[in-house]
Amino acid sequence: KNEVEQSPQNLTAQEGEFITINCSYSVGISALHWLQQHPGGGIVSLFMLSSGKKKHGRLIATINIQEKHSSLHITASHPRDSAVYICAVDKFYGGSQGNLIFGKGTKLSVKP
Amino acid sequence: GAVVSQHPSWVICKSGTSVKIECRSLDFQATTMFWYRQFPKQSLMLMATSNEGSKATYEQGVEKDKFLINHASLTLSTLTVTSAHPEDSSFYICSAMNSGSYEQYFGPGTRLTVT
C-alpha cells in the first residue's frame, strides 16, 4: 500500500462546479503539500500546510492530522484549472524536512 | 512568490554523453535542494538531497557515480547525468527549500531524451 493515496485518480467537471480532491497518508508528517502540474510538466506549489486550513483565491486546502487526511477544494472551477494535482507529504526523516513522498496525482479536466 | 529556475528546460543527447542540469533559487537562499525524477504516468520520485557545501544524500537505488550532484552555493545545485543511456530519459525536477521558512519551491523541470 502506498504511503500517500489520492482520490479520485481522474476527475471531469463542468465549468463552475465545486471540486474536491482527497489525500490520505499513513506516515508521520511534518507538513503536507498540494502541487499543480500542467501538461508541459512544470510544477507549481499551491499550499504547504501542517494544520487547519489555507485559502488562496478559489483554492482551499484543509488537513486533519488526527485522521491523516487532507482535501483540496476548487470553487467555481474553470477550464484553466485543468491539470494534475499532486499531494505530497513531508515525512519525518532524521529530524530534517523536505524529503517528500508523492501521491500519484489526480488528473482534473474542467469542460467549458 | 519564490522562484526556482532550471536550465535547460529540455535536452536531447546521444547515448554515452553527459548532461548537466542546473537548478537555481532566484530570490532566496537554499541550503538544501532536492532532485526528483518522473517517468511517464508515474509519481515524482526523490533521487537525492543536495546540501550546500557537503556531499549529496542519494536514495536507495540511485547510482551516485552516475548522477553527480554539486551544490556549490546557496542558490545553485547541479545534476550531471554521466554516460547517459536511453533509460535515463525522464523528466527531472528540482526543488529548493527556503532556509528561513522551510517552504519548498519547485523548478519547472528538465525533460531529458537520450537517443
Q: Is B101 on the interface with A (CB under 8 A)?
A: no
Residue A95 has a pLDDT of 47
Give the separation between CA B89 and CA B74, rounded to whole angstroms: 28
Q: What is the pLDDT of residues A57-88, one digit of tens each?
A: 999 999 999 999 999 999 999 999 999 999 99
Query: Please, what is the average pLDDT of chain A?
Result: 91
Range of lowest pLDDT (A17-31, A37-51, A62-76, A98-112): A37-51
Query: Where residue B104 falls among pLDDT bands split at 50, 70, 90?
Result: confident
Q: Cβ–Cβ contacts within 10 Å for residue B46, how many?
A: 20
Q: What is the pLDDT of residues A47-59, one digit of tens each?
A: 989 899 999 999 9
Shortest CA gap B102–chain A (Å): 7
| Residues B93/B112, Cβ–Cβ less than 8 Å | no
CB contact (8 A) between residue A99 and residue B34: yes
The residue-averaged pLDDT of A26-31 equals: 88
Average pLDDT of the residues of chain B? 91
Q: How far apart are CA B75 and CA B7, in angstroms?
A: 13
Q: B57 has which bridge partners?
A: B49
Q: Sorting pLDDT into bands at 50, 70 and 90, what band is A1? A: low
Residues 47-76 of B with CB under 8 A from A: 49
Pick from A100, A101, A104, A107 the residue to mutate for testing the B interface (most B CBs within 10 Å): A100
Query: Cβ separation of A48 and B38 shorter than 8 Å?
Result: no
Q: Do A48 and B104 touch (CB under 8 A)?
A: yes
pLDDT reading at A104 higher than 80: yes
Name which of B45, B97, B108 is nearest A98 (Cβ-Cβ).
B97
Query: In the structure grid, which three cell numbers stand for residue B92, read together?
Result: 527531472
**A58 and A36 in contact (C-beta within 8 Å)?**
no
Digit-coded pLDDT (tens) for B49-91: 988 888 899 999 999 999 999 998 999 999 999 999 999 999 9
Q: Return all residues near A29 (Cβ < 8 A) that are at least 6 apart.
A: A50, A89, A90, A91, A92
Name the percent of chain B lying above pLDDT 70: 98
Count other Cβ atoms within 10 Å, centred on residue B103.
Answer: 17
Given a cut of 60, is residue A93 above it in pLDDT?
no
The confidence band for B3, taking pLDDT boundaries of 50, 70 and 90, is: confident
